[in-house]
Structure 1
Amino acid sequence: MGMLATVMNALAVQSVLESKGVDTRVQSAIPMQTVCESYIRRRAVRHMEKGRVVIFAAGTGNPFFTTDTAAALRAVEMGCDALLKGTQVDGVYDSDPKTNPDAVRYDNLKYQDVLARDLKVMDTSAIALARDNRVPILVFSIHNPGEFSKVINGEGRFTLVD
């Protein structure tokens, strides 16, 4: 169910982007030819070379791997400059800010600090994969209008993990 939900979400994102004139492609780790393309790295690279936004769906296509790990994997495979994680809060905290009003937000963290402190921003596989391949992670809130644009311009409120 989770992998299918990510495909539905990807199609929703595609619809919004296409309505704004952005040329997109959705690629799924599980075959769904009538809905979207299957993930083929070379094809994704070609789409990006043509200026298209590629939206990856269905995680890795394998159970037991989170979408965090899939995002890190695709970021590495595609040679991305960074991995942006839009989430429920505006960065990485020392504890859950939803249950602890005194939680402290970090502006910057090292991968190793995230792992050593067992900060629950992403699973350990995703953090380790990003670390081993030097892909910085920017964690920001998806609930703040315009935040995505701000973050990709180096503005806004986020935590940089590098």
Structure 2
Amino acid sequence: MKTTKPTFVMATICLNFSYAQLKEKSPAENQLQLFQYGFSGFNSGYKPGFRIKKEVANRGKTITVRNYTVQQLFAIAYGTGTPINHEQVIIDVAEPKKLQQIRCYKLFVPQQQIDNFYTIMQQNLHMEFPDYNITIEQKGNENYMIIKDADD
């Protein structure tokens, strides 16, 4: 079976080319790809809550959110860690029940991206829930989070 040898050579060439392209990227470009996140549905056996943890030896920062509504996830992200109070949320969507879905979320950001932690969380939420536009408006001394349908 001499056909496997050319295939192996071609695969090796492709891998070396890909590795060379990765090495050509600046360290900043490579660092942007290091954060990890994930969403899941309701997790039975856990009380709703979230925890923000700085990793040992300055490796990064993690947020773990269990059994929160989509609205509450937005409130954490746009409140930059201090959730926006329920009374300060204005919902203007066609199907508000969708915002009450229970979800879990986890995000790890390496040390060099900690300054962008909540921006990354907001981007993750926007990718997972593209049907909503979120804005923050200041009225008096308080910030209000406004959730609207994206097609408005």
- Normalised-by-shorter TM-score class: under 0.3
Higher relative contact order, chain-length normalized (CA < 8 Å, sep 6+):
2
**Larger gyration radius, structure 1 or structure 2:** 2
TM-score by length of 2: 0.26
- Judging by fraction of residues, say which structure has more strand: 2
